[in-house]
Amino acid sequence: MDWYDTIFELIDMRSFSNLWFWIALAVVWSTASHWVLGVPYDMVARARRHGGQAAEDLEDLIRINTNRLLYIGAVSGLWLLGIACFLMTGLILLGFVYGVEFAQAVFLLGFPMSIVGALNLSTARLIRDEDATGEALWRRLTRHRTIVQAIGMVSIFITALWGMYQNLAVGPFAG
């Protein structure tokens, strides 16, 4: 047995039985629910609690990030959408037609995050159109975070079910 076989025996390269995949899944969703439109959610809570300078800082950061997201969407949105659709289609084909487990894992991470990306763009557009400030802005950001958390819970549940299926039915111990 050479060093290559030893490393791959020590580190399971199958995605759904690998602890690192599950750690990455948890980190991705905790980060996605903590950062609302590029602003940490604790700033929203602080602005709501204290007002004043904290509220002004939050509104400035949201304005900057909203304008940035909408600019990127306007300038290169179609290209980004096309590339994302191409990548998701490739991952679906590789993962679920050809049975590549790594592609399945990346799809189960990437597809829900693409939904969150579209939600970010939609929320940014709503904030700009409403010219939301103060309580209206805080409610919009809280609603956005709640929806992201719901998407995350559904995504983690589906990923866990698919991962258990892969480990029990398709894994090395099956049959």
Give CA–CA dist 62/141, Å, rounded.
10
Position 1 scores a pLDDT of: 59
Position 55 scores a pLDDT of: 92
Segments in the chain forming alpha helices (H)? 3-10, 19-34, 41-50, 52-92, 101-130, 134-165
Position 147 scores a pLDDT of: 98
Q: Please report, in tens digits, the pLDDT of each residue of the chain (175 residues total).
A: 577 776 666 555 578 888 889 999 999 999 999 999 999 999 999 999 998 999 999 999 999 999 999 999 999 999 999 999 999 999 999 999 998 899 999 999 999 999 999 999 999 999 999 998 889 999 999 999 999 999 999 999 999 999 999 888 765 555 5
Helix (H) or strand (E) holding 166: none
Compute, in degrees rounded to 10, the torsion defined by CA atoms 95, 96, 97, 100.
Answer: 30
Radius of gyration for the chain, computed over Cα atoms and rounded to the nearest angstrom: 20
Position 51 scores a pLDDT of: 87
Give CA–CA dist 143/35, Å, rounded.
13
Q: Is the pTM of this model over 0.75?
A: yes
Indicate the residue type of 156: I
Position 7 scores a pLDDT of: 65
Position 14 scores a pLDDT of: 72
